[in-house]
Amino acid sequence: MAGEFSWGQVCRVLLENAPSAHEDDAIVPRMTLLYEQNLLQAPGGQRHTPLSRGGSYSASEAEKKIKACSTLQLYILPYGSCLSSEKANIRFSLCPGSLLGLAEGDVVTDFYDDPACMKFFYQGKVPDWGSTTPRAARICQHFLNTYHFATLYDTYHRIASYSAYVFEASSGGGRETRWFVEPQLVNQNWGGEMKDSAWLDQAYPGVYQGDRQALNEDYTHSGFDRGHLNPNGHHAVPGRNATFSLTNVVPQNPKLNQNAWANHEASLAKMFKAQCDKAYVLVGAIPSAENWIIKNNTKRVNIPEYMWNAYCCIDRDGRPVLTGGAIALNSEQNLVVEHTLRELVEFLQQHSHGPVGELFHHHCQ
């Protein structure tokens, strides 16, 4: 089997039945998701979805990756043909092009490329806010083989531009003592599931993890809290555990984080439970011009000037019933000011180099 399989070409996956989960936490589950969402369909007049990824793998490397799926039998055909596999009720075909385009990567080129991420955005609308941020990374936050929320991460300032999630009533527990990092911000070929630094140190000794993301030690003795954007109190376990990613936090003034902002998060949770069938939420931060956590004379993590959030609540029929937002200066002022969604968009526009547009589809109306 010769040649290369580029992730930038089209990958066609055909499924007759949604396969059960197995040892591989990426290939089959993600294909299952595409199947269930009707983005990929079984053979016979069906449509396929193109996916794009950067980089390429040799045929032998691709073959090794597919063999990680222990439930599948492989039949290798010559280059130019399709690589096919079938066993029991599982059947799919991967044509040379984006071989394994579904398998690797929770840091994606575009949220629209990954249906696993799109479920966190109301009506599939990804905000334009932050989309022009240089070197931004789009992360489908993955923990215990499940996607829990999406984050647009600013790798220059080493803070999130926003996290997008769907509210869950907290069931208690799940407060982590670990802080996770995103392995694919260290090396794009590493696994996508969030890991704590100690685990990565053992798996990849001597590799520095902080070029493109904040590390736990950046916050130590900094005078700032690790302020969640996606709040841990808005999720049940294990989603709550997943919020303890350093790509989901920013340096937040302790007084604000532990008082007015925490109270606002609690008020939202109470409202969501009482008045919404489902709540889509965005929480973001606006970087400061020149205010940083400094370590060893190096600018490590930008200290945001503002925190903000926005929500879109729908009823059981999928109709919008509540919208709103809030802004807080990241300071000792300890004040959260609530706004309408349109007022929030106007505020964000003052701090954006491009059009902000809609935070939610049709402004959640």
pLDDT digits (tens, 9 = 90+) for 304-334: 999 999 999 999 999 999 999 999 999 999 9
pLDDT attached to residue 42: 31
pLDDT of residue 116 exceeding 80, the answer is yes
Give the whole-angstrom CA distance, residue 228 versus residue 251.
Answer: 9
Among 23-37, 53-67, 95-109, the least confident range = 23-37
Task: Of 282, 291, 294, 286, give the one whose Cα is nearest residue 214.
Answer: 294
Is the pLDDT reported for residue 51 higher than 80?
Answer: no
Cis peptide before 231 (omega within 30 of 0): no
- Could you give the residue range(s) of every CATH 3.40.570.10 domain in the chain? 107-364
Is pLDDT at 16 greater than 50 in this prediction?
no
- Mean pLDDT for 64-87 is 32
**Which carries the bigger pLDDT value, residue 98 or residue 234?**
234
Residue 4 in this model has a pLDDT that exceeds 80: no
Taking residues 286-299, report their average pLDDT: 96
Is pLDDT above 90 for 303?
Answer: yes
- SS3 of residue 314 by DSSP: strand
Highest mean pLDDT among 6-15, 71-80, 196-205: 196-205
**107-364 CATH choice from 3.40.570.10, 3.90.1150.200, 1.10.1040.10, 3.30.390.10:** 3.40.570.10
pLDDT at residue 22 tops 80: no
Given the DSSP bridges, would you call strands 306-314 and 298-302 parallel, antiparallel or unpaired?
unpaired
- DSSP class per residue in 332-345: TT--EEEE-HHHHH
Q: Is residue 174 very low, low, confident or very high in pLDDT (cuts 50, 70, 90)?
A: confident
Give the bridge partners for 107, in sequence order: 139
Asked if pLDDT for residue 335 goes beyond 80, the answer is yes
Name the maximum alpha-carbon separation found in the chain: 67
Helix (H), strand (E) at residue 84: strand 83-87
Report percent pLDDT > 70 for the chain: 71
pTM, two decimals, is: 0.73
Residue that wins the pLDDT comparison between 44 and 301: 301
**Residue 35 pLDDT exceeds 60:** no
Which residue's entry shows tokens 């990756």? 65
Average pLDDT over residues 132-145: 94
For 213-256, give the DSSP string: S--HHHHTTSS-EEEESS-GGG--TTHHHHT-BGGGEEEE-HHH
Count Cβ atoms below 10 Å from residue 67 Cβ, excluding itself. Answer: 12
pLDDT for position 105: 54
User: What pLDDT does 172 receive?
Assistant: 80
Q: Where are the beta strands (DSSP E) in 95-145?
A: 107-108, 136-143
pLDDT surpasses 80 at 146: yes
In this prediction, residues 190-196 reach a mean pLDDT of 92
Mean pLDDT of 251-264: 98
Where residue 346 falls among pLDDT bands split at 50, 70, 90? very high
The rounded mean pLDDT for the chain is 78
